[in-house]
Chains A and B, each alone.
Chain A
Amino acid sequence: MPVAFRSLRMKIGVGLAGLVVLLAIFGPSVAPHDPQEFVTMPFAPPGHLLRFGGDYLGRDVLSQFLFGGRQILLMSVIAALVGVGLGAILGIFAGFRGGRFDEFIMRSGDVVLAFPQVLLALLFISVTGPNLTVVVFLVAVGHAPRVARVMRGATLSVSERDYVKSAMALGMPTWRIVAQEILPNVSGPLAVEVGLRLTYSIGLISALNFLGLGTQPPTPDWGLMINDNRIALTIQPWPVLLPVIAIALLTIGMNLISDALARASAGLDRQVNA
């Protein structure tokens, strides 16, 4: 959808999110210190050598920050893609097939939706112990029913269209109708979902890391940084502020992107509809 890329919303969104992603990818190669190295006093204030001061163990905050984004971003992207993929498949088939299959899928989804996503993650991790794969999986499973609802709705309106009926009149098998006729026509909401779920994943995974259920020390991580350094927020705010700003920028950027996609697929920004 080239229309979406022309909007100001999209440009700002791509700018903000791109900045944070670049930071996470190339950060480690420009970091001045090893993130595990003790270079100063605990909670040392910013000076001319260490631009953002030291953390609770006396490590360089800037290096910690530059190293800490990669893993959380990677986990969020995987969780979002798996969650949206799973949800889209379930939602589209439920919407297209209808009947008992639809009821079964959607009611099972309701059960998952009944629990807050964090609570569900807490429950499983308390059994398995902190494990990154489990965290990604749980976040993805938490997304699936939410995505499925949206995709089912989009599918319902598309499958009433005559081009789907026309494919049915040819006797085409269901998977082929879904792949050829339905999927290309729900790609708008699907793109919106990817953006939205990515934002949610980042929030959720940093929250789990903050709670100590995801990434374990000494691996540098934005969520962990916030938790470890919050006790000295008043005297040395940088180890908390830097990851907070990065996550906020990324979230706002991703939201702007998905908003632009949603507007474009709804045709809101079209100039003249003559």
Chain B
Amino acid sequence: MSAPLVVANLVVAGSGTGVAIVDDVSFELDAGQVLGLVGESGSGKTTLGLALLGYARSGTLIASGRIFIGETEVTSSSTGVRGKLITYIPQSPASALNPVLRLHTQLLECVVAGEENPESIIDQVLREVALPTDRQFLRRYPHQLSGGQQQRIAIAMAFIARPDVIVLDEPTTGLDVTTQRQVLETIRRLVKDHQVSAVYISHDVAVVAELVDKVMVLYSGKVVEYGEATEVFRQPKHPYARRLIAAVPDLAGNRSPVGILGGAPSPFTRPPGCAFHPRCDIAVDECQTRTPELVQLSHGHFVRCPRTGITPPALTSEKAALLTRDDSVALSVRSVSVSYGKHTVLQDIDLDLVGGQCTALLGESGSGKTTLARAIAGLQPRSSGSVIFDGADLAPGVRERKKEQLRKIQYIFQNPYESINPRRTIQETLIASYQFLCGKPKNSQELIAEALDSVSLRRESANRYPDQLSGGERQRVAIARALIVNPEILICDEITSSLDVSVQASIVELLQRLQRERKLTLLFVTHNIALVRHIAQDVAILESGHVVERASIADIFAFPKHPYTQRLIADAPSFDPARGVA
């Protein structure tokens, strides 16, 4: 019998334009094996995942290639394959589950018709994903479950039909580290127990490294490297794979993440030749014209780069020079509480931001970290307590604060796709902010150029609209908007969490440089514990509205005191390419 999943020369293209979104992908997968599909946004990984089910999103079509599950061929019109032989677990369980149907109804829908005892199947699957099986639980609606439970229901729905192949599209994105770990364990166990072939799509290399047997790195719709996970992660051969792995912040703190400049091209603006050449550090002229072939380096290890023999230049990151601590407090938060109606979100928070240092505010979703950041910025009224800055107590709301106070504390939002007005050019956005806080600029051209330079953006970007920029570039614009008024404190609210790892690493490098050059005090709000290690000097850990631990970075990783901190560190996926798979 052939391998459970065989994909040959699969091409997915735009239906009107004929542009290949996924180009010539072939692989085989054995039962019980997990294949990781890794790549930045726009690399075509979700498109490929959906194509395995014979499905193409509107505007795209499966142009050529064949997919076999065992003896059965999957085509766009094949019935009885989806939901039986192959199932799909989508990224966001909250939108994948029907909010008006009870769990039992939804699970029952997934049982293959003709099964004699559907109740016992549901019962067994729920046991396997470690969820309660009593009637009361089954009568619930999706909104009555936590995010992790919802994702487990989605997993249960995928496993009910006992498929041969499962496609998982970033199933743990948006979950807290502890929940993520439990969900990953469930997936790993189910795959082994039922000998299912799984395709795991993710942008998070650290998560993939924990789970998969084989890994396929996609760039611009093409496979650039494919092989055994241990081999690819320990010794990536393709320059992109190498840089991608180097961009992952590692929890052990042995090396700093190094970003890749620029962003992945969209399917319509892919450069000729090797699509990665504009960002590659070992590219030669030939790379611009000739598209390299995927060649086998050693058994089962394929690479699409003719220059794998070249020793690449060592990766250096702008490692923050050790800052001298002067312990002068730039801003202090004293017993601040915030509540929404009767619900208390923050309780008696004390926090000091040391001048010129980066303080990380670490917490899981719902811990109140964004609320605290907003309370400091004056966007969220506090119910008691004080925020002391420059020797004065800041008013709770922005409207009561002085312009000078507003200027000195700048806030950068999480999602760069939402934080910049889409109807104004970058220049207009930057000027509007400056004009309001600092008055009319003497030389606006020079001001804009300076602001763009400081965040390493090209000066031509000034006349562009936000949708002409990539996510990383937009976040740089948002940083420039904050810097243009020459602030003292920068509040960064999860500013890297909606970006790809390679972009995240370069934004972190940028922040470190700015901190050093401008003596900025940073408050870096995040849920990513590995990232904290690389950017911050101090950390405060927030759990359900309370600060449970405050310490310096060195101390918190060496001697975590609070049990919650210990759990966070233990549950975070640790990724260290030197050791290969963690």
In the complex, chain A residues whose CB is within 8 Å of the CB of B419? 161-163, 165-166
Which are the 10 A-B pairs with shortest beta-carbon distances? A184-B423, A162-B419, A272-B59, A162-B413, A162-B418, A272-B14, A163-B421, A171-B398, A169-B411, A171-B406
The number of A-B residue pairs with CB atoms under 8 Å apart is 76
Q: In the complex, what's the smallest C-beta–C-beta distance from B120 to chain A, in angstroms?
A: 43
| Structural contact, B415 and A162, CB atoms closer than 8 A | yes
Additional pairs, 5, CB under 8 Å, beyond known A163-B419, A163-B420, A272-B17? A162-B418, A168-B379, A169-B379, A176-B436, A274-B60
Does B340 sit within 8 A of A, measured CB to CB? no
In the bound assembly, the distance between CA atoms of A24 and B18 in angstroms comes to 47
Interface string of A159-189 (1 = CB under 8 A from B): 0011101101111100010001100110100
Within 8 A of A (CB), among B369-423: 377-379, 398-399, 401, 403, 406, 410-411, 413-415, 418-423
In the complex, chain A residues whose CB is within 8 Å of the CB of B15? 272
Does B268 sit within 8 A of A, measured CB to CB? yes
| Structural contact, B423 and A170, CB atoms closer than 8 A | no
Does A126 sit within 8 A of B, measured CB to CB? no
Q: In the complex, what's the smallest C-beta–C-beta distance from A252 to chain B, in angstroms?
A: 29
In the complex, chain B residues whose CB is within 8 Å of the CB of A163? 418-422
In the complex, chain B residues whose CB is within 8 Å of the CB of A176? 436
| Structural contact, A165 and B266, CB atoms closer than 8 A | no
In the bound assembly, the distance between CA atoms of A163 and B477 in angstroms comes to 12
Whether A184 contacts B424 in the complex (CB less than 8 A), given A271-B59, A274-B266, comes out as yes
In the bound assembly, the distance between CA atoms of A170 and B482 in angstroms comes to 10
Considering only CB atoms and an 8 Å cut-off, how many residues of chain A contact the other chain?
21
Does A234 sit within 8 A of B, measured CB to CB? no
In the complex, chain A residues whose CB is within 8 Å of the CB of B42? 274
In the bound assembly, the distance between CA atoms of A83 and B262 in angstroms comes to 48
Tell me which of A161, A170, A273 contacts B433 (CB under 8 A). A170
21 contacts between A and B (CB under 8 A): A162-B418, A162-B419, A163-B420, A163-B422, A165-B379, A165-B419, A166-B419, A169-B398, A171-B378, A171-B403, A171-B406, A171-B436, A172-B436, A180-B432, A185-B421, A272-B17, A272-B19, A273-B57, A273-B59, A274-B60, A274-B267
In the bound assembly, the distance between CA atoms of A265 and B17 in angstroms comes to 23
Within 8 A of A (CB), among B446-505: 478, 481
| Structural contact, B398 and A271, CB atoms closer than 8 A | no
Q: In the complex, what's the smallest C-beta–C-beta distance from B50 to chain A, in angstroms?
A: 13
Q: In the complex, what's the smallest C-beta–C-beta distance from B88 to chain A, in angstroms?
A: 20
Tell me which of B267, B268, B411, B422 contacts A166 (CB under 8 A). B411
In the complex, chain B residues whose CB is within 8 Å of the CB of A162? 413-415, 418-419
In the complex, chain B residues whose CB is within 8 Å of the CB of A273? 57, 59
Q: In the complex, what's the smallest C-beta–C-beta distance from B473 to chain A, in angstroms?
A: 16
In the complex, chain A residues whose CB is within 8 Å of the CB of B411? 166, 169
Q: In the complex, what's the smallest C-beta–C-beta distance from A154 to chain B, in angstroms?
A: 14
| Structural contact, B406 and A170, CB atoms closer than 8 A | yes
Q: In the complex, what's the smallest C-beta–C-beta distance from A103 to chain B, in angstroms?
A: 18
